[in-house]
Amino acid sequence: MAYVIAQPCIGVKDTACVDACPADCVHPRKDEPGYAIEEMLYIDPAQCIDCGACVPVCMQQTFGSTCHGAGRLMSRAKARTVVRGDQLRHRLESRGIVVRAGSMRDFAEETPEAYKNVSQVVGVVARAGIAKLVARLEPLAVVKG
């Protein structure tokens, strides 16, 4: 299904998406007659190859960014009240996960329940057209500073 340019483009028309599009299907370009009179750009659905290259360059939707983690469900202080660091360590080590922590109190802040389900977060981002799923990775190590 072809991408569709939405209302936030109105009045912006910076054509960043035109430059990013490999199929030359975003119109009107600055050198086309309609550019001066159209309020916003549109994508020709017959030409669009659904590559998504135009999405990350559109600052009106994402400010050039996407999620860089799952995000917290609970504050650090709250996490410390629902789990003890030594119990969390035991739980993770029973699953074969090696834990090194300078402080069990700080470690408790990182309990998995304190974070959203990353698959759901990534799914929302993908369905919104902000990013495209290319692979699922399993972490070998996690370092918190």
Which residues are annotated as catalytic?
A: 68
Is 82 a residue that touches ligand SF4 (CB under 6 A)? no
Cβ(111)–Cβ(78) below 8 Å: no
What are the residues whose beta carbons fall under 8 Å from the beta carbon of 13, sequence distance 6 or more? 35, 38, 39, 40, 41
Among 28, 56, 58, 108, binds ligand SF4 (CB under 6 A): 58
Is 20 a residue that touches ligand SF4 (CB under 6 A)? yes
Structure tokens that stand for 137 in this block = 């990775």
Is 51 a residue that touches ligand SF4 (CB under 6 A)? yes
Residue type, 81: T
**Which residues lie near ligand SF4 (CB under 6 A)?**
3, 5, 9, 12-17, 20-21, 23, 25-26, 41, 43, 48-54, 57-58, 60
